[in-house]
């Protein structure tokens, strides 16, 4: 996914004539406003009470009844902030000083946390993050989906007996959990400078050079450091977005947590790789665990990381890893969850919600390379997986064969087209599992689910907002949402994954 891009960046430099103003007073802002509908003017200093966090991790503050979003502020804090932008109903401000500090504030262990956009919550105690993520899910369900949540008051103030939202499933050790690093490459000081690689600064395309990332597996950091060092010594140029010139665009590293196998992917702005033999020899020398060195060619003016052409420079086309005893072959462009520890937790919950006894027929929409499908197949009668990406379906078939799983069938195509055809061919689904991208389910797929009327629907989501929207549609179509379990797939970031169980109301 990239699920790691953070929003909420804000710009602007403080003016020298900033006025101080307490947002806790009454009426003081009215005289200072430059717009009829805003109580503050740009560069004004205000005292703000922080009452929450946005889905991007910005502090939500109230001053004089006006909402201000403040990067770096935490709930329960009172801060002095400088107003940077004012709109009709809200504004953005820059944190200047913490007057009252949250009990949940901690010192970020990463040296570049305040610059890098990879993490948003390293200043927030981990247990408090888990509570906030659960509340974020509840807020989405109630506000966007207009759904009742157990323990939440209804519209008339009565207690709802609705959806059970469980505590967020966290990690015992929430560090070094990512099995994939995918970082842009640039040059220090602009084109022609020393090769650098790291995540983008918040809200920008400015690369923050990084040698050590605390949420990456150590071996991924080793790959990025090695490629930078070798590239510098071989005089390799970095891609420049402005001019479209330069060679190396991205470095991707994959590490098998169980197998220890490493894949290195060089994304280049051109097919020719200068000194390719030297590149390969130096990478193999620096990284003894490397099993695959791959080049991907992307010559388009695009923010997409990968181009259409991929070729193996050395070693295998895939590396292998395992999830809960199931072995997977992973190619350069395979979608494979980046946190294997939490993926097992999420998929076990998916199987639990599916309620399988060994005879059920299950459809896995958005099946990817078959990860959820193969978990389900161990306890189902038959599993049908569908995915729009043909290469992913080929991987899914290979992974089923790799594990000796014969009760899983995979087909490429849009789920909203393939599944109705399966229905016409006599496939009856007892359970349908969906794991869509951040935009949620295609409306045609939701309509197909309602027509097929499975006993259960298990909805795996990486976006609480679109989850809430789709649950509302399924509820209106005859289903009841029973439980939602948030799973912290991305500690120290604002992202949260959910697994939800729906059953037919007439069942």
The answer to whether position 34 is within a domain reads: yes
Q: Examine the domain organization and report whether 205 and 140 are in the same domain.
A: no
Tens-place pLDDT, residues 9-59:
222 222 333 333 333 333 333 333 444 566 888 999 999 999 999 999 999
Whether the predicted pLDDT of 369 surpasses 90: yes
181: which 2 tokens?
Answer: 């690093």
Helix and strand element counts for the chain (H, E): 9, 21
* 329 within a domain of the structure (yes/no): no
The range of the structural domain enclosing residue 67 comes to: 1-104
Q: Between these two residues, 18 and 238, which has the higher pLDDT value? A: 238
CATH number at residue 399: 3.40.50.150
Nearest Cα to Cα of residue 483 among 102, 141, 23, 111: 141
Q: Are residues 217 and 286 in the same domain?
A: yes
- Count: domains in the chain: 3
For 50, 85, 347, 476, 504, the CA distances from 372, given in Å and listed in that order, are 40, 45, 6, 27, 22
What pLDDT does residue 88 have? 87
Pairwise CA distance, residues 474 & 138, whole Å: 17
The answer to the question of residue 332 being in a domain is no
Provide mean pLDDT across the span 399-420.
96
Together in a domain, 353 and 301: no
The pLDDT tens digits of the residues spanning 418-466 come to 999 999 999 999 999 999 999 999 999 999 999 999 999 999 999 999 9
**Is residue 333 situated within a structural domain?**
no
Last residue of a domain, one of 284, 299, 323: 323
**Average pLDDT of the segment spanning 259-271:** 97
Q: Would residue 214 be called left, alpha or beta, if left means φ above 0 and alpha means ψ between -120 and 50 degrees?
A: alpha
Tell me, yes or no, whether 463 and 355 share the same domain.
yes
Closest by CA to 210, choosing from 319, 112, 315, 97, is 112
- Measured from the Cβ of residue 320, the count of other Cβ atoms closer than 10 Å reads 16
137-147 pLDDT, tens digit each: 999 999 999 99
pLDDT, position 347: 98
* Helix H or strand E encompassing 422: helix 415-424
**Strand 66-70 with 318-323, pairing:** unpaired
Whether residues 167 and 207 fall in one domain: no
Same domain, 486 and 364: yes
Q: Clarify whether residues 41 and 59 are in a common domain.
A: yes
**In three state form, how does the secondary structure of 331-380 look?**
ECCCCCCCCHHHHHHHHHHHHHHHCCCCCCEEEEECCCCCHHHHHHHCCC
Please check whether residues 114 and 21 belong to one and the same domain. no
Q: What's the predicted TM-score (pTM) here?
A: 0.88
CA gap 471, 152 in Å, rounded: 17
Asked if 246 and 197 sit in the same domain, the reply is yes
pLDDT band at 153 (very low <50, low <70, confident <90, very high): low
Give the pLDDT of residue 21: 38
Question: Which among 71, 104, 137 is the end of a domain?
Answer: 104
Which of 99-108, 158-167, 235-244 is modeled with the greatest confidence? 99-108
Catalytic residues: 462
- In terms of domains, do 396 and 492 share one? yes
The chain-wide mean pLDDT, for the chain, equals 90
Do 229 and 304 belong to one domain? yes
Does residue 262 lie within any of the structural domains?
A: yes
The C-alpha atoms of residue 216 and residue 251 are separated, in whole angstroms, by 14
Look at residue 151 and tell me whether its pLDDT is greater than 90: no
Q: From CA 158, how far away is CA 149, in angstroms rounded?
A: 12
What CATH number is given to the structural domain containing 238? 2.40.50.1070
Helices 464-476, 443-452: axis angle to 10 degrees equals 40
Q: How many residues does the chain have?
A: 507
Could you tell me if residue 119 is inside a domain? yes
352 and 426 both lie in a single domain: yes
> Which of these three, 323, 347, 370, is where a domain ends?
323
**In this structure, is residue 124 part of a structural domain?**
yes
Is there a domain that residue 408 lies in?
A: yes
**For 303-310, what is the mean pLDDT?**
94
Q: What is the CATH number of the domain that holds 73?
A: 2.40.50.140
Q: What is the pLDDT of residues 113-130, one digit of tens each?
A: 988 889 999 999 999 999
């Amino acid at each position: 996914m990239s699920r790691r891009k953070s929003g909420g960046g804000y710009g602007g430099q403080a003016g020298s004539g900033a006025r101080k103003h307490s947002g806790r007073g009454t009426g003081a802002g009215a005289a200072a406003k430059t717009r009829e509908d805003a109580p503050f003017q740009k560069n004004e200093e205000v005292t703000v009470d922080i009452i929450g966090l946005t889905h991007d991790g910005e502090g939500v503050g109230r001053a004089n009844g006006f909402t201000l979003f403040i990067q770096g502020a935490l709930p329960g804090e009172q801060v002095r902030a400088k107003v940077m932008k004012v709109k009709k109903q809200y504004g953005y401000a820059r944190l200047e000083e913490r007057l009252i500090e949250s009990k949940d504030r901690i010192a970020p262990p990463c040296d570049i946390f305040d610059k890098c956009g990879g993490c948003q919550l390293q200043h927030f105690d981990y247990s408090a993050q888990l509570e906030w993520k659960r509340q974020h899910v509840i807020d989405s369900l109630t506000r966007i989906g207009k759904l009742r949540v157990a323990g939440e008051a209804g519209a008339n103030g009565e207690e709802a007996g609705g959806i059970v939202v469980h505590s967020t499933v966290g990690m015992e050790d929430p560090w070094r959990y990512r099995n994939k690093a995918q970082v842009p490459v640039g040059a220090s000081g602009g084109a022609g400078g020393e090769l650098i690689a790291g995540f983008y600064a918040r809200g920008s395309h400015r690369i923050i050079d990084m040698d050590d990332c605390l949420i990456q597996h150590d071996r991924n950091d080793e790959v990025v450091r090695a490629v930078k060092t070798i590239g510098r010594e071989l005089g390799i140029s970095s891609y420049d977005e402005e001019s479209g010139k330069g060679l190396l665009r991205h470095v991707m590293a994959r590490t098998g947590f169980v197998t220890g196998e490493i894949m290195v992917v060089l994304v280049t702005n051109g097919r020719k790789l200068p000194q390719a033999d030297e590149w390969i020899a130096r990478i193999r020398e620096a990284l003894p665990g490397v099993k695959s060195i791959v080049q991907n060619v992307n010559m388009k003016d695009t923010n997409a990381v990968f181009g259409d052409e991929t070729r193996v420079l050395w070693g295998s086309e895939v590396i292998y890893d395992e999830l809960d005893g199931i072995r997977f072959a992973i190619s350069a462009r395979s979608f494979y969850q980046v946190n294997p520890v939490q993926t097992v937790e999420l998929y076990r919950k998916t199987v639990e919600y599916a309620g399988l006894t060994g005879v059920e027929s299950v459809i896995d929409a958005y099946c990817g390379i078959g990860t959820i499908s193969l978990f389900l197949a161990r306890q189902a009668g038959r599993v049908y997986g569908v995915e729009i990406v043909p290469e992913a379906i080929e991987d899914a078939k290979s992974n089923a064969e790799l594990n000796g799983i014969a009760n899983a069938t995979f087909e490429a195509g849009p789920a909203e087209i393939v599944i109705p055809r399966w229905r016409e061919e006599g496939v009856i689904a007892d359970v349908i599992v969906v794991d869509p991208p951040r935009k949620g389910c295609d409306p045609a797929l939701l309509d197909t689910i309602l027509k097929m009327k499975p006993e259960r629907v298990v909805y795996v989501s990486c976006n609480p907002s679109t989850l809430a929207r789709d649950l509302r549609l399924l509820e209106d179509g005859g289903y009841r949402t029973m439980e939602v379990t948030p799973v912290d797939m991305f500690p120290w970031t604002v992202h949260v994954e959910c697994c939800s169980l729906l059953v037919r109301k007439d069942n």
